[in-house]
Amino acid sequence: MIAKKPKSSPKPPSSKETKAQKFIRAGQPAAAPANANGTREIKPVLIGFDVALLARIDAAAGQMGLSRTAFVVMSCAERAGRVERGE
């Protein structure tokens, strides 16, 4: 006998993803001031990556339990901070 496929409910975001999103929102540098309503404008950008680098990014993001976008944003924010501090 063949059983019906169980209905799946959408998974809530993982706690790591939630933490990453909070980090991204809270860690914006002063160069990205909040709007009058207290939010920051998010601008989508198209970036090309070498295939091998993209695989490394995906692997690192997966190890941290993050999405590719969260990992790239966190990495860029970290690097920009070091440059701004003269490190």
Domain locations in the chain as residue ranges = 13-27+47-87
DSSP, res 36: T
Is it the case that residue 32 has pLDDT exceeding 60? no
Give this prediction's pTM: 0.58
What tens digit of pLDDT does each residue of 36-80 get? 777 778 888 999 999 999 999 999 999 999 999 999 999 999 999
Q: Strand runs (DSSP E) across the chain, as ranges?
A: none
Pick 38 or 84 by higher pLDDT. 84
Region 12-31: mean pLDDT is 58
Confirm if 20 and 70 have CB atoms less than 8 A apart. yes
